[in-house]
Chain A
Amino acid sequence: MAWRFKLAPDNTNFDFFRWQWITFGGSLFLSAMAVVLWLVMGLNFGIDFKGGTTIRTDSAVPVDVGAYRTALEKLPLGDVSITEVFDPNFTDDQHVTMIRIASLDEKLAVTPEEVKAVEEALKAAIDPEMKFPSVETVGPKVSGELVYTSVLSLVVTSLFIMGYMWLRFEWQFGVGAVLALLHDVLITIGIFALFQIKFDLTIVAALLTILGYSINDTVVVFDRLRENLQKYKQMPLRDVMNLSVNETLARTLMTSVTTLLAVGAMLVFGGDVLRGFSLAIFIGVLFGTYSSVYVAKNIVLMIGLDRSEKAKKTGTPDKFAGIDA
């Protein structure tokens, strides 16, 4: 036998239910915490959802956020927030900030004149050579709609996934899978609330991607579970579940690690514009792996499966065998 790198030893036989009060309970606790954080601290919405303008500044002069703030204080603007941006790709004399301004009147979009005034003020106070590589304005009308479509897309995706799982498996699996997804998404949102990381449209895209990705792991476990339920008709459900998770453990870990490697590379080297997006996916994948091992099947076990009815959906694992790819 040639040497192989292994993330999980062969023939594991863990009891994944043994610490379920800690593992599953912990998940429940974390999800609840996430919701609390979300409600108490709120999300740091970007202009996509709140309206306003972001201006990216690029200057050779090192950033002093206080000086930027002083430069803008005199202008008649609404809320102004200034954050310095760091990235390993920047050159030594590249100092970047993101400035977010709101209009004085919440109901109106920031006008081009206001943006111009900000640019002039910064050039005068900080660096006459300052560049503005991106300026984006979203009016309040659009931002309201974006909130609506974002929520809608999350709900629609979840329903579709639940429907597909129901079609291919039993309905209990669908519920288990979607609740596990909810757990992943909630915890990701909670972390964004806790650290007040900017939450914009790309983060919603990331959350949707988490839905699609995280379900993969769960599907693989469920697929094996379905197969084993037929093989071992007399074995208690809990044992069949443990067996299935153990059998697929190597694969689950392997896939998660390859994805985390890729997303990790993007997080570090992919530039600051994508950082939030990469971070959301990274967190989601991490918790998605955990939830497919420790959350989804526990929910199915709690609901219980009517195994006498199993006959109805036999043969499904072989449905595609005939395709002969």
Chain B
Amino acid sequence: MLHAPLWKKILVWAIVAVGFLLAMPNLFYAQVEARNDAADVSTKAGFVTTEQQEALDGWPSFLPSGLVNLGLDLRGGAHLLAEVQVSDVYKARMDGLWPEVRDALRDKRAEVGSIRRQPAPEAGTLRVELSNPAGMAAAVEAVKALASPVTTLSGAGQSDLEVSADGATLVVRLSDAERAATDQRTLQQSLEIIRTRVDQAGTREPTIQREGADRILIQVPGIGSAAELKALIGTTAKLTFNPVVRRGSAEDKNPGVGNVSLPSLDEKDVWYTVVEAPVVSGEDLTNAKGDFDQNGRPAVGFKFDVSGARRFGDYTAANIGSPFAIVLDGKVISAPVIQSHIAGGSGIITGNFTVEEANRLAVLLSAGALPATMNFLEERTIGPELGQDSINAGRVATLIAAGAVSLLMIASYGLFGVFAVVALAINMALIFGVMSLIGATLTLPGIAGLVLTIGMAVDANVLIYERIRDELRAGAKTAARAIELGFERALSAIIDANVTTLITAGVLFVLGSGPVRGFAVTLAIGIITSVFTAVNVTRLIVTMWYNRRQPKTLVV
């Protein structure tokens, strides 16, 4: 008689049953996916349409509805790895600081003489030349007063500006602590904005995550191409209102310090020289929407927040009669002349927009501008047909592999081989069950991991069966004893062999990315479930068979 405590029997079969239950939705992938999508949409919207209700009814609600996510390489879609140019923000900070520095130094004019901003080669520095270097100490003192403490935990106690003297030049530099804090904020903002923009496109389950210090990984299944995705998120949509210095017919090679020459968006050979520091910018917007001007042409309506409205109001009041430029991503959309004091802080932007362009611009503006430009380091587009082909090929390969391995196991171990095949089937179900439960992503290499698991999973069974044969040959007292010894003595080899593979899967997960990581997950889950099925499930099956049949002799 072989013994297996009742609790253990119940536990093992319960795990197997739960595994099957969790894996089952994957057999009805399209149905369950439709239900989940409908559930997501209707919860967000707060009501259910008839179509959604149909989709919801397509899968009983008492059954689990978790699915194995399909990776981009199986579903098709676009993948981008973007590097955020964090130094853009340093530059913007310095441009914003310049008027303050100028004002502070003007107050000390008697000591420092006249001042001139000089070009700074390094982003995040501001260089100001003094005509009277003797007043440098006073100048440094005055500018230092503008600094404020860094507000992060790690940078606490440090100032955000470092002020020093370089001959007759005053150098203001963003401190390292402030740079780190700025980078953190820039990345966070970029992530949020990208998320908003991608969500507005309404695609399913996009992955948007930070990678390393200054990178963002964006994966959007179902989108046509990486170019399309870039059009959606890649434009910074940085809107600024800048004072116009002059208008010309060619690029101004020498616009003067603090000024910049920008081309017009739709007028050929028209360039505007504008003051680089904006009066108000897109960040001051509370709202933007597609609109029409008085002539019925598409336009973008906008509204400033309180401080933006005040600054805009003050500026327009003081500069009636002079033009100001509306600048989007480095191009001048239009440069109207200020007719009157614009109070209330709302207005419209007109240009040669189509209705779609106006709407898209409004969406981009209300999501906020990306704080910095992005460089795309990696772009991948995978068509949905290629993904489907890969799934089909993977399915065929898996079935053939399972069939071939099953045949070999049964030919080699007879009835015990059948037990191993049953355990293998349970193992497959458990892998899908666990992956659905944790919402893991199946990638193309992941399918390879699955097929590999089929080959390797029976390894534990082989070890046990060979050991039972050894024990029988060595003259174990009874058949039951041989089985027990076989299971016990094979265990150390099984554990050692699988721990090493688990180590590999761990390294692959930590250092790998994308599809390779999917492979690591599948491999790791496969190892754990295969040890469970080979050791616990097979043992239980063998025990049940043995106790029922009570064979006198054992043939493995």
Contacts and interface: CB of A to CB of B under 8 A. Distances in A.
Interface in A210-248: 211-213, 215-216, 219-220, 223-224, 247-248
Contact of B519 (A205, A215, A262, A270): A205
A325 B512 contact: no
A278 to B, nearest CB: 7
B512 A153 contact: yes
Contact of B451 (A112, A270, A324): A270
B458 to A, nearest CB: 5
Contacts of A269: 393, 396-397, 400
Contacts of A139: 375-378
Contacts of B508: 153, 205, 208-209
Nearest to B78: A135
A132 B466 CA distance: 51
B380 A278 contact: no
A18 interface: no
A262 B451 contact: yes
A35 interface: no
A133 B496 CA distance: 43
A152 B470 contact: no
A253 to B, nearest CB: 10
Interface stretch (A22-30, A154-162, A191-199): A154-162
Q: Which of A56, A109, A259 has the most CB of B within 10 A?
A: A259
A320 interface: yes
A317 to B, nearest CB: 5
A189 interface: no
A37 interface: no
Given A134-B383, A153-B507, A265 B448 contact: no
Nearest to A270: B397
Interface in A251-302: 251, 254-255, 257-266, 268-271, 273-274, 277-278, 281
Nearest to A211: B504
Contact of A212 (B448, B455, B500): B500
Query: Interface SS of chain B: helix, strand, loop or mixed?
Result: helix
A321 B408 CA distance: 29
A270 B451 CA distance: 10
Interface in A123-175: 131-139, 141-142, 149, 152-153, 156-157, 160-161, 164-165, 168
A11 B470 CA distance: 10
Interface in B154-192: none
Contacts of A6: 412
Given A216-B459, A223-B496, A157 B392 contact: no
B458 A258 contact: yes
B511 interface: yes
B409 interface: yes
A157 B507 contact: yes
B400 A216 contact: no
B385 interface: yes
Interface string B342-383: 000000000000000000000000000000000111111111
A2 interface: yes
Interface in A93-137: 109, 112, 131-137
A202 interface: yes
Contact of B507 (A136, A137, A156): A156
Nearest to A110: B379
Contacts of A274: 390, 393-394, 444-445, 447-448
A168 B493 CA distance: 11
A1 B413 CA distance: 12
A219 B497 contact: yes
Contacts of B377: 109, 138-139, 141-142
A157 B501 CA distance: 10
Contacts of A268: 397
Nearest to B512: A205
Interface in B469-492: 469-470, 473, 487-489, 491-492
A179 interface: no
Interface residues on A, range: 35 or more
Q: Which of A216, A281, A316 has the most CB of B within 10 A?
A: A216
Contacts of B226: 112, 135, 137
A89 interface: yes
B376 A263 contact: no
Nearest to B506: A160
B390 A224 contact: no
A269 to B, nearest CB: 4
A74 interface: no
Contacts of A136: 378-382
A77 interface: no
A166 to B, nearest CB: 12
A262 B507 contact: no
B39 interface: no
Contacts of A63: none
Contacts of A58: 385
B503 interface: yes
Contact of B413 (A4, A160, A205): A4
17 contacts: A134-B382, A136-B382, A137-B226, A139-B375, A142-B377, A153-B507, A168-B496, A205-B445, A215-B497, A215-B501, A254-B462, A254-B466, A266-B401, A270-B396, A270-B447, A281-B448, A318-B492
Interface of B: 73, 81, 83, 225-227, 230, 375-383, 385-386, 389-390, 392-394, 396-398, 400-401, 404-405, 408-409, 411-414, 444-445, 447-448, 451-452, 454-456, 458-459, 462-463, 466, 469-470, 473, 487-489, 491-493, 495-508, 511-513, 515-516, 519-520, 523, 535-536, 539, 555
Given A10-B473, A137-B378, 13 more contacts: A7-B412, A135-B226, A135-B380, A156-B507, A202-B516, A212-B501, A247-B470, A262-B452, A265-B404, A278-B448, A321-B491, A325-B487, A325-B491
* 3 nearest A-B residue pairs (beta carbon): A212-B504, A262-B455, A271-B393
